[in-house]
Amino acid sequence: MKFTLSWLKEHLDTDADLTAIVDGLNRIGHEVEGVENPGAALAAFKVARVLTAERHPQADKLQVLTVDAGDGEPLQIVCGAPNARAGLVGVLGLPGATVPANGMVLKVAAVRGVDSNGMMCSSRELELGDDHDGIIELPEDAPVGTPYPDYAGLDDPVIDVSITPNRQDCMGVRGIARDLAAAGLGTLKPLDAVVAGLPAIDPQGDGPNVRTNDSEGCPAFYAQSVRGVRNGPSPDWLQRRLKAVGQKPISALVDITNFVMLGLGRPLHVYDMATLKGGLVARRAKAGEAVLALNGKSYALDESMTVIADDAAVHDIGGIMGGEDSGCSDTTTDVLIECAYFDPAHIARTGQKLMLTSDARTRFERGVDPEFLDDGLAIATRLVLALCGGTASNVTRAGKPPRVGAILGYDPTLAEALGGLAIPAERQRDILESLGFTVQPLDANGDPCELDDACDGFRVTAPSWRRDVDGPADLVEEVIRIEGIDKVPSTPLPRTPGVAKPTATPEQKMERRIRRTAAARGLNEAVTWSFIAQDEANAVGGGAWTLANPISEDLKVMRPSLLPGLMMAAARNVKRGATSVRLFELGRRYLGDGERLTLTVLLAGERSPRGWANGKAQPFGAFDAKGEALALLEAAGAPVGNLQVMGEAGAAWHPGQSATLRLGPKMVLAAFGMVHPSLTKRFDLEGPVAAVDLFLDAIPAKRATGFARAPYTPPALQPVTRDFAFIVPTSLAAGDLVRAVKGADKAVITDARLFDLFTGAGVEEGKKSLAVEVTLQPGEKSFTDAEIKAVADKIVAAAAKLGASLRG
C-alpha cells in the first residue's frame, strides 16, 4: 500500500514530520517497507525561460538558446527539441544534475563546437511521462529560478507500507490516517471536511436499471448514472498522485475510481452506458461464457463465478476486473457508476481459479466496509461532476449489504493478562473509541454504567470496517499496539530451581551429531524447498502429494527426494564458477505413506584439482559416496560393521555404479553411487555426480542399557595379526568375504580388513586375489601356535563357503 505524505495529510490533521510518521507506522504494526521522495532526484532542475533561439552554425537540427535560470547571467544551451523557441518556459538541468531516465551526469560540454551549460529536458528524460517529442512547456507565469520539484509539487515523499491480511480497513489512505490519529500523531479529519470542495449532487430522474440475482456472491449492488460528461485526461494534481503510487493515469473517469479506491479503500467501476444493452445484473456466470477483461486477456467463466452482465453479454468479473467492451473512452458521454459489495470468499475463489489479480480483488477478498456503499458512491459521483461535468440521476439500491461489526463483552484486565501490559480502563476505552469502536461500560449486573470503580467491564461494538475483530483477544491486540508494543516489559519465564533436565530427543541428538560430522568432512549444508515442480518430481519417481492450487507451478509437488533441490543448488554454484561442490541437506521427503527423515549428500565437480602428482583434475566416484555414507551412518549410530552392500539403488542412480547399504535383505539404510546421466542432464549438470541418500528413520534404535556403562579396561596382552590371501570369484564382493572372516570366531577375532586386491599374472581368468588382515585378541594368556592354527582353520573354512581358497 503506497501513499504520499500530502495525501495522508488530507485525512490526518498533524504537525508530525515524515520521520515521526514512519516511526509511528512501524510502532503500531504497519511495517514501512520504504520511503521515496521523487522530488529529491529532480532537485537540481529549475524552471527556466528561453530568451533567444538561434540556429546552430554547424547543425541544422540544433539550436543555440540563451536561457534565464534566475541566477543572473543567462546561460547558453544547445538544444535539439523541435519546440524550443524564444519565450518558452521549461525545465533546465544544470551541470552536475543527473538525468533520471539514463543516469547521465550533466556537465559543460561542447556540442558541434558550441559550449552548452546544461540541458532543456523532456517529460521522458525526467521520468514524468512518455512524451519525448519536445521539451516540457510550462505556463508563462511559472516562476523562473524555482526548483522544479517545488513548482510541480513533486517534493512529496511516498510511503510504502506492508498491510497484514487482517487489516482490510488500512487498504486505503483514510484507514492509515485513522490508525495514526489513534496513536496520537494527529486528528482524523471528518470525511465531510475532506470532500467539502466537491459539488453537491442534485439528482435528476430515475436511477439506472440494476439488480442482483446472486445474493451470496453480490449481496448489494448500488449504482448511479451521470449523463452529459466530458471525459479526457484527469487534472495534473490527480495524475501526480496516481503516478506517485505506481498507478498509470488513463482518463478522468477511470482515474476517479482509482483515486477513491486508494484513498478510501472502496473499489468502484464505471461503465460507458452507450455500450450496454438493457439493465445490468449481478448473477452467476453460465457455462461457456467468457469475458474480455481490461487487461486485454479473455477469461473462460464457470457457474461458481459472480459476474456483472447486461442482456447481451458479461461486462465485469464481479469485484475483480471490468470488461474492455464497456470501458470508458474519450467519446463517452453517459456513465453508470457501480458500487457493490462482493463476498470475500467468492472473490478469493474466483481470483484463484482465473489466476487473476487486481487492486480491486486485493480489497474485496479481504473485505471492504459494507456500510460505505452510499458514501463511496456519492463521493465518486461528486468527483465525476467536478472533473467531467454532467447531471446525476438518483441512486438505485439493489439488495442489502450484510450487517457486520461484532458485539463483544470485554474485561479491561485482559490487556495485562493476555498482552502483558497494565493499562487503565479509561485509556483503553479512549483507544478503542479512537479506532471507531463503540464502548459502553457495564456494571456487575451487565447494565450500562459510568466508567468508575463500579464498572465491571465493557460492551464493545466493532465498526463495520473491522470484520477481523471477533473476540476479546482482538481487542487486546488493538489496545496494546496503539499503547505501544515497546512498552510491554520483558519478563523471563519461571524456572524450576536446580539443574535443568535435558529436553533434546534421541532423534534431535542424532541430527546434531550427523550435521557436525558432515560439516567436519568438508560438506556444506544446504536448505532447499520442500516443494518442487512436477517434472522435477517425475525425474525421481514422481511425487505422492500435489497441491491443487499452488502459488507457483515450480512449487507444486511435495518432494519425494532431496536430490532435485540439491542438484539445482549444485548447478547454480557450478554456473557461478565453483569447481567442486560438496553439499548435504538434512530434511524430509514425502511419500505416499508419510514423511521420511533423510540426509542427502551430493558431490559434483572436481574431487581434487589438477596437479603434478595426479595430472588432470579427478572427479568424484561411487566409492567417495560410499565413504561418506559409512562415515555418516556411523555418526548416526548405525551398526556399520553389520551392513551389507546389495543391489542397485534405483532408477535415479547409474546402473552398475550404485548400490544400497542394508541390514538384511529388507532393511535399507542408505543408497549411494553415481547419479544417472539422464538426471544430471535434466538439471543442467555436466560430468559425473555422486550422491548419498541416508534413510535416518530406518536406523534401528539402540537398546536401553541403563544409565551407567561398564568401565573400559584395556586388554592386558597385545593383539596378534595374521594375513590371509584368498583366490575368490570376480563376482564376490570384498565386503562379504571380510564379514565371513570376521564371523569365523567372534570370541577371538576383533577386526578384519581388506588391504589388497590383485588380478593378473598368477591369477586365473574369472578370479581375483583379496588379502585380509585379521586381528586376534588373546584373553588371560598368550595364544599357542596350535590355538592360532585352529582360528586360521576356522577362517579358511568360513571363506571356503563363499567359494574362496587360500592363495598358494
Write phi, then psi, for 642 (nearest 5 degrees): -100, 0
Among the listed residues 726, 792, 795, 731, the one whose alpha carbon sits nearest the alpha carbon of residue 757: 726
Strands of the 306-309 sheet, one edge to the other: 210-212, 280-284, 306-309, 314-317, 321-322
Cα–Cα distance measured from residue 492 to residue 490, given in angstroms and rounded to the nearest whole number: 7
Name the 3-class secondary structure at 672: strand
Q: Tell me the C-alpha distance between 774 and 770, whole Å.
A: 13
Q: Is 369 annotated as a binding residue?
A: no
- Which spans in 612-744 are helix H? 622-635, 677-682, 734-742
Residue 709, C-beta contacts closer than 8 angstroms, at least 6 positions apart: none
Closest CA to 466 of 440, 427, 436, 434: 436
765 marked as binding residue: no
Q: By the 8 A CB rule, do 315 and 328 touch?
A: no
Find the helix or strand (DSSP H, E) in which 212 lies.
strand 210-212
The two counts, helices (H) then strands (E), for the chain are 20, 40
Question: Measured between alpha carbons, how far is 563 from 565 in angstroms, rounded to an integer?
Answer: 6
Element (H, E) at 805: strand 805-806
Strands 580-591 and 524-525: parallel
CA distance 677 to 395: 70
Phi-psi bin for 694: left (phi > 0), alpha (psi -120 to 50), beta? beta
For 189, list phi and psi in degrees, rounded to 5: -70, 145
Residues 423-446 as b/e (b if ≥16 CB within 10 A, e otherwise) read: bebeebbebbebbbbebebbeeee
Sign for the CA dihedral angle at 725, 730, 734, 735 comes to: negative
568: Cβ contacts below 8 Å, ≥ 6 apart: 528, 536, 683
Q: Is 551 exposed, middle or buried (0-12, 13-18, 19+ CB in 10 A)?
A: exposed
Q: Are 715 and 777 in contact (CB under 8 A)?
A: yes
The answer for residues whose C-beta is within 8 angstroms of residue 80's C-beta and 6 or more apart is 61, 62, 63
Show Cβ contacts of residue 387 under 8 Å, excluding neighbours closer than 6 positions: 234, 235, 238, 252, 256
Task: Give the residues across from 604 on adjacent strands.
Answer: 581, 689
Please, which residues have CB within 8 angstroms of residue 191's CB and are 6 or more apart in sequence?
174, 375
Q: How far apart are CA 17 and CA 35, in angstroms?
A: 13
Enumerate the β-bridge partners of residue 65. Answer: 53, 77
470 among the known binding-site residues?
A: no
477 is in an annotated binding site: yes
3-state helix, strand, coil in the chain (%, to 5): 25, 30, 45
Give the cell for residue 517: 560430522
CA 454 – CA 752 distance, rounded (Å): 87
| Residue-by-residue DSSP string for 267-290 | --EEEEGGG--S-EEEEEPPTT-E
Q: For the packed helices 373-388 and 252-264, what is the interaxial angle rounded to 10 degrees?
A: 140
Overall size of the chain counted in residues: 808
| Secondary structure (DSSP) of 95-130 | TT-B-TTT-PBP--EEETTEEE-SEE--TTTTTS-S
Cite the annotated binding site for Mg(2+) by residue number.
Answer: 468, 474, 477-478
Task: Write out the binding residues.
Answer: 468, 474, 477-478
